[in-house]
Structure 1
């Protein structure tokens, strides 16, 4: 199995379009500087995604177990509710758009109710049957042709978490799904990002980001245990990747970091409460980062930074 044609086209465009890379990476001349912005959001936010077509921004809200949307990244309104579980707090995952415009999200589930949902329009939410509800899900990314990559882990008592990266194949008509493990032996895998044939997974328990060949994982007859540690980093969380191959994620207790393709780490900000979801809008040259409130009563923020 190979990456979808649309994903490959996106990667090729990112590499060959000088005009696009100039807009994103700052290689164009006489461009006015864009100051970072910090927008307060009335939500217990975690995941964030940008709709490529129009640049609309979507965030999750664990207060209401819902997804909020904004056309300007400043004023957010209800978009869709994700089903809750009685007696269990809400906790939603990384957000990801599919090729056909559906928005995918997972419910963490706390070891009993993990689930994957497709949002095909405002308050049009479908649950996919099949994925194991005992898996605590955090990362989710579409790779086209009705396929998703999901990070998950199992936690039993005081034992260390055991996690993996899996492939979910779903039927949009019947809402059924199958799941097979691709990369095992992880601790607490959180975020997922893809650059070309490389898939990156942040492992919070082991304070690192690992990398592997996606085509190798997809073509293997059994789950792969061998992987390469791309970089050691303290407390990584959800991931995003820019067209130049740079990764963005949480680092340390209050940081947001850029990780260059050669592994060089640069701290972009060091005053966040709790960096969570990251999204790259490559067409508009923006980086979005969720700064989740550290405790009840404090305010969450959406940071908007120019891509360098």
Structure 2
């Protein structure tokens, strides 16, 4: 009996001890699980918080990137616009420069050149006229050096012509001044180059008066109104005492000025028919023995001479 009780007691103690041990182990496991659960909850919350923070930062980063992308896009658009503007300026600037800069400058330069040319021409013409007027005044000076310089200047500038009032003054010098004949002859030759009313009247009087200026008068009429004034040459040939000399002088000075004047006179029947028998014999001899030299002495070719009334008249008479 006692043995049984001891056994039961031992078993109870053993069972209680085991139960207590198991219970402690179980409680320990529960505490561990509880701790792990708490820690898991804490970790989860921490992770959740970190995720929230991370998400927020990602969203901020995304917003920043979007803003930066918008700014970059804006800068890109601005850059594109500026590039287009620069390109347009690059294209339009040369055109604008030409139309508003170069072209007006070219027109202004052309206009300036025209104006400067005309102004320069006016100045030179005015200066020349003043010098001519002074030279004409100097022709009446007693100082012969001034007179000679004046004649030389007038000779040099003669090819540009004289004004009407200057021509009038020069003819007055020829008629009224005390210049010697050689100097007057130079002035007369200067005035014989161009037709004007003063020259026509003066040189008519020269041929009629038979003074020393006949050569200038011949040259004048050879170029100016020969057909209207041919009677002057007819009368000169008719009234001379030496037709050979007079005929030669008339044709010589005509040939040096206008070869057509020579041909005109050699075809003028009234002029040729004035030739007397003595001079006619000289012409016939020249035609028979020296036609080429005879023609050349008046600036003609043989064929030109053969076509004239003079040749036909005296060559037929000599045959």
TM-score by length of 2: 0.19
Higher helix proportion: 2
Q: Which has the higher contact order (CA 8 A, sep 6+)?
A: 1
Which structure: greater strand fraction?
Answer: 1
TM-score (norm 1): 0.19
